[in-house]
Structure formats: structure tokens, C-alpha cells
Structure 1
């Protein structure tokens, strides 16, 4: 369960009233976009609602009307900032909704109730409330200064307190789609439109549909609200049963009492002869009706039951989960279960898997994760203990659990002045109590939030990855002065006053050579590295000289420049406005795009050695288009063929997601280039490329299905792939014509042969002659046939001699023995076999 912050509009501090309104229910922090509401007042008093844990009962109260006016000023200020708002129409709609909503909040106070979040820490709630009040005041000071100066650059996200670490700038938070420009923070009650109506007539209750049609005539003494499965409990003459919204009585009225089918449970509690049991949706008994008491514990289907004066627990099938040996009913806590201990204030605690943890005060028990229970210090125990899923001790004797970290797998524990890391998946300490600090690096990748922790020990720094499967040191402890995460697997590390960019100690993109490294917006890279007057772009391809146009845009643009302080912006502008460096200089910092373009220019100019050189530089930096270009040259370029290199670069390019390389890799497997022929791999990689709309891959698949060497011949599949290639803009007219021809689709075949002929094909010129001489897909036309056969001969397709001889021997109006003899002699000279019927004249 996520820990929540609530905001209410209330009449009086510490006194709940019926007209109080809940405005916000949010996870972990007070939403930044609503913090301008809390500009005046800021007093601390008891909560109106979460007020059951004295003395830990402290909330904040602010003057509502002053806050509403401040929010309006804040949103008007945001709207004026050029380039800040990504979707102006959505912003305007959200602002209008928010203003309309706030104008209806007429009670004098806004009340922040962060009890749920405060309860995550052992610090007294009044102290945490004071810290929260100070943080909100600090943030409002920054926002007010920006408004006073009408300068959004003064609203620096890195200077704000207690804000969501998932964003790196205010603009990124503001434009986050799920927040709906602040309107998404407002809690909206769900209002379901009734589709049936329970009505009364002559003292009895019945059921109508939404149009007023009677579904059940009035006949019941009691008719309760519909619950799960669209079932409602009804009663008549002291007997209970169930009806469906459709008007059917689905379970007869035969019980002394009956309870709802709860959501998530396919069973309900019923009573007969003073005893309780469970029935299913068909009314069949699934737990015998012989328990003295029976209560639903939670939506997992567990029930606490009393038998022979003792309490235990059943699952919804009736199996005994906890034996009947307890004095009181079990209750459900927040992620755990508990029951009384006779004669003691402590409770018996069971985790969510019903593993016994021990006897503790209820206030000391907290569910930390799935099956993981924290027992905080209490009377008789001065330290904290973590219990594993099986109920045994996982870690004990520590002072505090660090609530400021939110790793998926790691928990940071403190004992004295030393810290340790506990793996929730491993259920053990991954790092011992030896570290001066363990800090969340706030790593967010495509896989989600990471488990990377910055470890400090004896003046040394390192990065430990507390992965759920393979925990390991990314950067072992060393004499680094600073480390921070950049993007994906890249980190910036500082030593002796200089910075390096690295993926690991062995995989470095640079030495310790930069005097500054800063993150940037995720546009063409993710960081800038500075060396004197020079600026380098850090991207997935390593480091390259930063493009001055891009640098100027980011340094001046209101949105992008939020990442940089004044000094960094000045250095960026000085670089961008400085003299352009020699573009012909090729070194380790040449951008991959530049290398790729140079390679293309060299290839088109016929300078293949330079093309290979440039593409090799870019490919080694991980640039997939250059990997494909290299592979293509090694695959097909005369004088440069190298099967092993072709396969190597196609494989790397395919792994990097390049569709051209996927197709090339499939061809390598098809023809055995640099590897053994492999039908499965060939079809897989050509298929992957085809799935991404690669026309040539479809044509290659068509050829593979036609030739029937790697896979069984399938002309239907071959034709389908060739047709997809045509749709994608790369038609192979010859094979489209031939496949339609072989299937007897002569008109389509004629169309494609004509297209191929116009492109200069000898084969299609010959086939057009065949079609016109025989009348396939068109009227028979010998003159046209002769024309096409002669075109085929001009294009060096000698088989046309035989067809011309056939015409001059057999077509009545065209018989010419000399011409027939001439064409047969030419066919013999070409080494063709002469059909027997043409030699018997």
C-alpha cells in the first residue's frame, strides 16, 4: 500500500465537521503544483481525521482564500512563460477546472494530513510537520520570487525541497501527462449511476429497472444494497436469501442470516441453527455450517472463525489456516494479521502468508514489503528487527530503517553511525554495517527504478547495485570524490578534481579529464562534459564534440535551460558562440552522425576505404546504421568481401535494433555467409525486419519460400511477402508476375510483366511475348508478341529465338521458312535445346 498525503478544506482545526471536503489523496509528498495553496497561516494542530495515535497526531492548517488567490496568480504566471507549456489546450482546460473547483471550497482552512507518511519514520510527528511546513515555505519562496520577476528560470527544480525525484526539472513535472497540469491531483469521488431501484409498496420491498419496469414484485421485508456479483441480500418472514439485479432469486430464502458476497471473494457467510458457514454463488455449502462465529478478514478470502470457544482462521475453501486455539478473533492490520495474547497488551503477529512473527505491541509492527515485517523499538526491545517471509528473523539489532530511500529491492538500515543494505529478495544483508552513508542514486531506466546505491566508507566512494537477481559492485570503493548517475548505465565519477564518464571501471568512455559534468534534457544525449572552453556531448554512443547549434538552443531555450545554473549556461553560450573547430578533424570525439555522413559521402564517391574507416569509427561507438553499412560493404562490395566481418557487424547491428541489419543477418543465415546456414535463424531475423516494415526483408522471405531450400516451398506465402514488399514501396515486378502466372492469375501477371519490362527486364519482355502469342490475360496479338520477343533478344535473352521460330513456322499469316530457319540457327549457336516439333518441318 502506498503511503498517502491528504488535503482537506475544513471549518475548524482538529475538529472534523460534516461539511469538510477531501481535496487530495496523493502518494508520499504534497503535490508541488498545489503547494501555492499553502501560502499563509501554516499552523500545526491535531489532524481532523488521522487523530488516533496521540501524541503522533500533527497536521498543517493554512488560510484557504489566500491560497486560492495565490494559485490563480501562479497559473497565470505559468501561462505567460513562452515555451514552458507543452499542450496549451490541455493546460487551459486543467486551469479552468482547477479554478472552478477551488472557488467552491468556501471553508476557511486547507488542512494537510500527512500522518500516513509521517508514520514511516520514527521521528515524532510534530517535528516532521514542522519540517514539512518549512519545506513548503521554502518552495513557495522560490515560486513567489519567480512570479515577482516574471522569470521561470528562477524556479530551479534542484533547489526545491521534498519533491518527486522522478523529475529533473519543473517543466518536466508540469508537463507530465498524468498530472494533467495539476488537475490530476484533485480527488474526484466515484459516482455510479444506479441501473436498478429498490422500491416499497404496502410495506414490502421489490425491484425495478432504470426505466421503471418491475423486476421483482414487492414481497420482501428487507432488501439490502447490491454488492459483488450484482447480488443483494433479501429477507422475508425471518429468512434470508439472495437476488440478482436481473430480478432472479438466485439463492432461496432459507437462512437465519446472510451476508454479502464480498468483492474478490466467491463466497458469503450464512447462518443456520445459530451456527455459521460459507456458501458459494450457487448456494452450495463450501464451509460447514457449524462455527459459533465467522467473520471475513480481508479480500484474500480468509475468515476468522470460532469453534468450541476458541478462534482460528479458515481460507475460503474451508481449510484451516490457523488452528482453533486463540482467545479472541483475528484482525487484519496493514499487511499483516494479529490476535490477542491472554493477559498481555501485546498481540500475536502473523505476516500476510500467515507465518507467525511473534508477540509485539501493535503500534510497533509495520509491513515493509511482501511478507516482510518490521518491528520497531518498543517496551522490552530497544532496537528494530526485520522478519522474513517465513516469519524468521532477517536482520535484528539495528536502530532505524532509512525512509528516504525507495529501492525496489534494497532497504538501508542504520546501527549506531553505520549503515547496511538489506536485500528484500535475498532476505539477508547484502552490505554489512560498515558504511558511513548509503545514498539512493535515484536511478530510473527503461526497466523502472533501480537499486543503485552510492556507498561511502572511510573517505572512499563506490556504487553497489542491489539487484534482486545478481547484486554486485558496479564501481568498487575507491578514492572517488563524487559519483552521480547520468542515464541508463552511465555514471560521472570525480577524482583529483576531474571527471570521467564510465559504465563500469572496465568500460570507460573517458579518462579523468573533464572539469565539469552536468545532466541535460534527453535530447540528442543526456549530459554535457566540459574541458576548458570545449564542451562534449554524452550520449548512448559515448562522447563527441557538442554541436554548437544544439548547445546554443539548449542554453537559450526556457525549457531546456532549466537543467543548468547561471555559470553552466555561461560556459555553454561561450562555447556555442566561439569559433567553429576544424570539421575535417576526425578523432575519438567526432560525433557518430558526422562519421556516418562522411562514410556515406565516401561510399557514393567510390572511396570505399574511407567509407569503411568512417563507419568503423562510428560502429565501434555503437552506432547501428554504421554497423549495417560496414556489414553491407563486407557482404557485397567487390574487393572488400569478408564473410566473417559481414556476419559480425550484421549481428551487432541487429542486436542494436537496426532493421536493415536484421534483414542482412537473416540473409547471412540463409546463404551461410560467415556462419552455417540456419533456417530458423534466417526466418527469425528476416521476419523481425519484415515486422518493422522492411520491404527488402519481405522480398527475401518471398524468395526463400519460393526456392524451397531452407523451408518447404510455399507459393502462397512467397506471393504474400512479395506483395507486402510492393505495398512498402519496393516491388519486385518480375517475381510478382511470375507467381501470379504460376497460379493462373494471367491478368495480374500481365500487369506486373509489363511493369518489369518497362524497367528494362529481358525475362519479362520474353514473357510478354508468350502472353501475347497465346492470348493469356489479353487478346492474342502476334505482332505484339514479335515486338516483345525482339526486345528480349535485344536484351540478350536468346530463348526468344525459339518462340520466334515457332511463330514463323506455325502462325498462318506469318509463316516464313527463312526467318524460322534463322532463329533456330541462332538458338543452336546460343546452346539451347531445340524442341523436336520445330525440327520436323
Structure 2
């Protein structure tokens, strides 16, 4: 079965209208390139075209106008990132077609219908729809951050949620040839399939087939359209029956009146003033005892009238609501209501036809699994919860709200406590879970006041309004505030905001918080450094893996454990972290280390260099030891060009000895002097040696000057430079 996703431009949620435009029919997902259309006003209601399960709303709706503006902004942003786009002319053509198409739409909402995709899981459609609402909000946050920063690198494919696994980078998705920069996602109008034609001649009606051939010559007085069971109502001389699509009589014309068949497979018929239901074979499903029958819920149920009283039957004729009501029964969202003459309150039945009482329609709200809650209304202060058997579960709550998937399906608030409502009971909520539900991934689910209640309950402590505001701020906001404070060396404030992000599970915040505790004077806390590095490492953050490895190397918040050091540094190195490779290189290059191995050291230093963080002097030194002097010279030269004083010194040594290059004392002197300027005092020794020994450069005054500088730097003077030459005088 092919699972499809549909996007419509519509005016009325949950009501199919001729003016609706199907914009997209796509497989398994909501294409990322069109997700910027779904930026504002997101809510869930019944689908316009797929909502066969009562009370399982799963249609997503968004305001159209801001969505179009946001998508145009997104495409204009992409155009300004030429490094992303492989075929700019094709991109512009697709963009122009897309903009022109969107400008022609006039519906108020974009409606995303993922019914087929949601059928792939056992979880309810309503729960999955909430997840998709959050996913699209998350992806748009990532896209908006990139647009705000004018930085395409922020379109990190690994951060985006529920995008096609056929690609591993945003750039590859964007430039996929068959995608046509998003234009392919828009449904192109197909040629209309030929249909049956009901035609008229001489005030009589007949039927033509899809090929235009006459299936039935004009004969009937009335001929209505074919319904969902491929049956059409026809009449002749005041009697009604049904034809099939071949033009043959399917149900004889014996009824005084007849109506279209419903999705449920039954139709309303009338004979001698009484009404009943028949099936597609024309057999009576109910006796002809009703004075009126009106379809509810696609013909699954019917308003039925006997005498002056209304009740409800289902498609098999079973009585669902007794015939004792003055007015017709109306369908609400997972409940039914009946007006009471002279009163504002109405009689309320749940979706299982259990009577709850008389309440205002505006006070009724569906929870899940047949549970309803009644909001406060005139004369009633608290919230009440009713079970699917119609019995009151509990009342007197300050607030009742639906909760995300997991244990229970609602939160009920009473004073300073929060309870979780499940099908079997009401119990105190787990504080850790309520804290989780204050996070950014659930911001769409609760309003701000509710999040405040969840936060203070989860924290179990009194908090100032400012602390609450900070805790509920989006993690990207708190992270940015932390980064700004860190740059200003305001580490206390940085810790405050990094901690908020860390507690929300934000991995960069965890790593940076651990770093402050690890290294910043006055704020060191070895236990906290270890805690946050470990927490981040266990969730797969490569920077935290590296930090945890260094904790084990130096015993920061834990016992020194070199095996664990290697384990975590290797994990970070496998995740392509240059710093971890350099740290491994340092360990394997250390002669005092049990795992001393210069080949492995070189392997990791090279890996770090390939990742953009070379340690030029180590690379040069290791090739120097291997007597591969040309490579050593290359890395020393790169290090010298970057201002590294030791690499500059070693470069001078190779030039002075002609290793990897021709011997050139002038060049060697220049680099030794540069090393001194950069603060590497041992270069004085080599300069003294050159001016003592090299022909054409001998100069005892310079020898003495450099030895004096070496002594001032408390360097040990080599024996060969202490030996006096013939002709020296010792005064």
C-alpha cells in the first residue's frame, strides 16, 4: 500500500468544500522544502477528506498568508547562499513557478492530511498528529535560525526531524534532480478521468458510459448522482429506486422517496409516510416505523424521530439514545448534545452514548479514550472529568489539560499539586516528567501559564518570575545568552543559562557548562565537570566524549583511568572530532605512557589535520624522527607560517643541516631569530653555534651575545660552546 501525505489550501477546517485546492500528494512525509509554509497558527482538527474515526482528529491546520511569506523568505535566503545551489538557473525557475502558484491561492488555511501515513503505526492518529505538529515546529525553528543568522551551515540535516533518510545533508536534498528544488512536490493538475454522464432528452433522463456510449436511453423522471456505493437514486411516476453504474435497476422503484446511500452502506427510504433503512440489496435494515431519519457521522448513526420524540439509532438499527427528546441530536467532538427548550445548557452524551448531564456546549472538551472534561461555567467553578462509562471520575480541579503521549492522557491541577489522569485512576504526576514537558519540544502543547505550573511543581521549589521566565525560554535563547556572558567572561551568568539548557537536554549547553567547571579559575568544580561531561557523552555528544576522556586522564571528578580515557577519546575521534584525535596523539606520543606508540600518534595527528586542526610541530617532529625530512619540513613550514615558535625553531634546524632541503645558513639564521622573537629562547644556543662554527658567519661577539641571552633565560650551555678557541685570553 502506498502511504500518502496531502496538503490543501482551504477556507473551512474539517469541512470539505468545492473551493478547496489540493496542493500536494507526497509519499510518507511532509517535504522539508514546503515545511516553511506551516509556520504560524498550527492546530489540530478533523481532516477535510480523511476522518473516518470519530474523535480521532489528525488534520493539521496553519495560517496561509504568513506561511507563503515565510516560504518566500526561505527561498530568497537560499538564493543568497550560492555555495548550496548546484544549478542556480534551474533553482530560479522553480522558485518563480512556486511563487506564482502560491500567489494564486486564496484559501485561509494550509491543511496537512497525513491519514495514510498515520495508519502505519498502532498509536492513535491524534497522538501522532501532535508529534508531527511538534516536528514541523522544530524544523521551522532550525530553518528560521539559519535565515536570521544568514548562515546556511545551520541547516544541519542531523538536527532536522523526520526528513527523508535518502539524503544525509540538506544540500543533497536541495539539489536532488527529481526534486526540482521543491517544485516537484506541488501536484500538477491531471487530465480529468472520463465519468459517467447523466443526460436529458425530452425531459427524461438517461445514462452514458465513460466512453460516451449510451448505457440507458432517457427514461426516468429524475436521475441523481451516483453515491459512495455506486448506486444512484432514480424516480418514475412518483416511485423511487436505485440504478447501478451499468444503468440496470439494482433496487426496484417501490419507495415513495429515497435518499443516497451512506458510507456505512445503508440508505433512508420512505413508504406511506414512514421512514426506515435499507441495505444495498434493497432489504430493510429497520422496520418502517420512523417519522424522520437524518444521517450523522457519515451514516454511522441517525437522528430518528418517532411521534414527537427524537432518539438515535446506528446503521444496523440499534437504539443508541432513547426516544425521549424534544429536539434533534447533534454531533460534537467526541460527544453528542441535545438542545433543551428554554435553556442554555444542553443534554450531553459521550461518544459511547452515556448521559453526563446538562452543560453549556462551550464547556465540553474531549480528552481521550472516551473521557471528557467539563470546564467551569456559570455557577460551577472547578473542572470535572467524566469516564467513558459516563461516571464522574473526579471534580473540583483548578485546570485540566491534555498531556503528551506517555503515561495517562491529561494533567489535572489542584492547588499546588498536579495529577495524571489515566483510564483507571488519577495519581500524583511524576515531577521529572512534568519538568520534561516544560521543554521546548512541548511548548506548542501547553500555554505559558500551564507551563509555569508544570515547572514550579516539577522543581518543587519557590521561584521568582524571572527565574520562571528564564527556565521557560527557548533553549536557543538561553544558549545565546550563555554564550554572550561567556564571551564577556561573566562566568556566573554563563553557568546560570548553560545550566537551564543542560537541564533541558541541550548537548552544547552541557558541554560548555562542563568546560567552565573544568577549566575556569574561580569556578572549578570537578564533580560537576565530570557529571555534565558524562551526561553529554552518554547521549552521544562528541565534544562531551572528549571532555569525559580528559576527566579520566587527569582524575577530574573521578579516579584516573587510562583505559576509559582511551575509550572515550576514541569514541569522540570516531565521531570526527579533531581535538580528540590530537589528544590521542599527545597520549600515544608520550614516552611515559604505557601505550606509547609513535605510529598511532602520527595516525591521530594526521586525522586531526584532515579535520582542520593540525598540530604542525608534532607532525613535523614525528616525520623528523622517521627521517622523512621533506614531510617534516612541510609541516614545520606550515607551523612557522602560523606563528608557532617551536615549529619555527625546528624549521631553522632543518635548513641549518640541509635536511629535506638544501643547506642554507642565511635562512636558518632568519628562522632562529624569528623563533627568538616569538619567545623560544633555545634558538640563542643554535645561533651561537652557527656564529662559532659556520664559515662565512663566524662572529665571536655574536656568539657571546647569544650565550649571554641564553644564560639570562637560565638555559644550560652545551659543552661545545663552553670550550675556548686558541687565541682566547682570559682576563
TM-score (norm 2): 0.50
1:341-740 to structure 2, matched below 5 A, reads 341-402=340-401, 405-407=404-406, 409-423=408-422, 425-426=423-424, 428-431=425-428, 437-440=434-437, 456-458=458-460, 513-516=530-533, 528-529=544-545, 531=547, 534=550, 545=566, 551=572, 554=575, 572-580=577-585, 581=587
Mapped partners of 1:173, 1:405: distance in 2: 33
Match of residue 206 from structure 1: 206
DSSP-derived class of the 1:577 partner = helix
Q: Does 1:299 align with 2:304?
A: no
Match of residue 230 from structure 1: 230
Match of residue 102 from structure 1: 99
Match of 1:70 among 65, 69, 73: 73
C-alpha change, 1:259 and 1:306, in structure 2 (3 Å) is same
Mapped partners of 1:173, 1:276: distance in 2: 64
- After superposition, the C-alpha distances for 1:764-811 in whole angstroms (9 at most, x for unaligned) are xxxxxxxxxxxxxxxxxxxxxxxxxxxxxxxxxxxxxxxxxxxxxxxx
Q: Does 1:142 align with 2:148?
A: no
C-alpha change, 1:249 and 1:9, in structure 2 (3 Å) is closer
Match of residue 603 from structure 1: none
Mapped partners of 2:352, 2:267: distance in 1: 22
Mapped partners of 2:237, 2:268: distance in 1: 19
Q: How far 1:438 sits from its partner (Å)? A: 4.5
Q: Is the 8 A contact 1:223 1:234 kept in 2?
A: yes
Match of residue 259 from structure 1: 259
Q: Is the 8 A contact 2:439 2:504 kept in 1?
A: no
Mapped partners of 2:538, 2:528: distance in 1: 24
Q: Is the 8 A contact 2:348 2:359 kept in 1?
A: yes
Mapped partners of 2:295, 2:325: distance in 1: 17
Higher helix proportion (structure 1 or 2):
2
Q: Is the 8 A contact 1:417 1:436 kept in 2?
A: no
- After superposition, the C-alpha distances for 1:298-326 in whole angstroms (9 at most, x for unaligned) are 13621110002100111222222211100
DSSP-derived class of the 1:105 partner = helix
Mapped partners of 1:307, 1:438: distance in 2: 55
C-alpha change, 1:551 and 1:294, in structure 2 (3 Å) is same
Q: How far 1:410 sits from its partner (Å)? A: 3.2
Mapped partners of 2:341, 2:225: distance in 1: 38
Mapped partners of 1:144, 1:394: distance in 2: 49
C-alpha change, 1:135 and 1:321, in structure 2 (3 Å) is closer
Mapped partners of 1:511, 1:521: distance in 2: 15
Q: Is the 8 A contact 1:36 1:74 kept in 2?
A: no
C-alpha change, 1:112 and 1:412, in structure 2 (3 Å) is same
Q: How far 1:283 sits from its partner (Å)? A: 0.5
C-alpha change, 1:544 and 1:326, in structure 2 (3 Å) is farther
Q: How far 1:98 sits from its partner (Å)? A: 7.0
DSSP-derived class of the 1:368 partner = strand
C-alpha change, 1:153 and 1:398, in structure 2 (3 Å) is farther
Match of residue 307 from structure 2: 308
DSSP-derived class of the 1:144 partner = helix
DSSP-derived class of the 1:579 partner = helix
DSSP-derived class of the 1:304 partner = strand
Mapped partners of 2:368, 2:89: distance in 1: 40
Q: Is the 8 A contact 2:537 2:545 kept in 1?
A: no
1:268-279 to structure 2, matched below 5 A, reads 268-279=267-278
Match of residue 726 from structure 1: none
Mapped partners of 1:78, 1:186: distance in 2: 24
C-alpha change, 1:20 and 1:206, in structure 2 (3 Å) is closer
Instruction: Count how many residue pairs are aligned between Structure 1 and Structure 2.
Output: 464
Mapped partners of 1:399, 1:324: distance in 2: 37
Mapped partners of 1:239, 1:35: distance in 2: 54
Mapped partners of 2:535, 2:89: distance in 1: 33
1:112-151 to structure 2, matched below 5 A, reads 142-147=145-150, 151=151
C-alpha change, 1:554 and 1:435, in structure 2 (3 Å) is closer
Mapped partners of 1:235, 1:535: distance in 2: 88
Mapped partners of 1:219, 1:527: distance in 2: 82
Match of residue 504 from structure 1: none
Higher strand proportion (structure 1 or 2):
1
Match of residue 247 from structure 1: 247
Q: Is the 8 A contact 1:233 1:258 kept in 2?
A: yes
Q: Is the 8 A contact 2:36 2:140 kept in 1?
A: no
Q: Is the 8 A contact 2:399 2:412 kept in 1?
A: yes
Q: How far 1:234 sits from its partner (Å)? A: 1.4
Mapped partners of 2:185, 2:198: distance in 1: 36
Match of residue 323 from structure 1: 322
Mapped partners of 1:534, 1:285: distance in 2: 81
C-alpha change, 1:411 and 1:189, in structure 2 (3 Å) is farther
C-alpha change, 1:187 and 1:295, in structure 2 (3 Å) is farther
Which 5+ residue runs of structure 1 have no aligned equivalent? 11-16, 44-49, 51-57, 83-87, 117-133, 445-452, 461-479, 500-509, 537-542, 556-571, 587-841
Q: How far 1:333 sits from its partner (Å)? A: 1.3
DSSP-derived class of the 1:103 partner = helix
TM-score (norm 1): 0.44
Q: How far 1:547 sits from its partner (Å)? A: 7.1
C-alpha change, 1:243 and 1:382, in structure 2 (3 Å) is same
DSSP-derived class of the 1:534 partner = helix
DSSP-derived class of the 1:287 partner = coil
Match of residue 152 from structure 1: 152
Mapped partners of 1:309, 1:92: distance in 2: 71
Q: Is the 8 A contact 2:549 2:566 kept in 1?
A: no
Q: Is the 8 A contact 1:37 1:71 kept in 2?
A: no
Q: How far 1:165 sits from its partner (Å)? A: 9.6
DSSP-derived class of the 1:73 partner = helix
Q: Is the 8 A contact 2:9 2:110 kept in 1?
A: yes
Q: How far 1:194 sits from its partner (Å)? A: 4.2
- After superposition, the C-alpha distances for 1:622-672 in whole angstroms (9 at most, x for unaligned) are xxxxxxxxxxxxxxxxxxxxxxxxxxxxxxxxxxxxxxxxxxxxxxxxxxx
Q: Is the 8 A contact 2:22 2:187 kept in 1?
A: yes
Q: Is the 8 A contact 1:223 1:235 kept in 2?
A: yes
Mapped partners of 1:97, 1:573: distance in 2: 39
Q: Is the 8 A contact 1:286 1:318 kept in 2?
A: yes
C-alpha change, 1:578 and 1:167, in structure 2 (3 Å) is farther
Match of residue 492 from structure 2: none
DSSP-derived class of the 1:261 partner = coil
DSSP-derived class of the 2:579 partner = helix
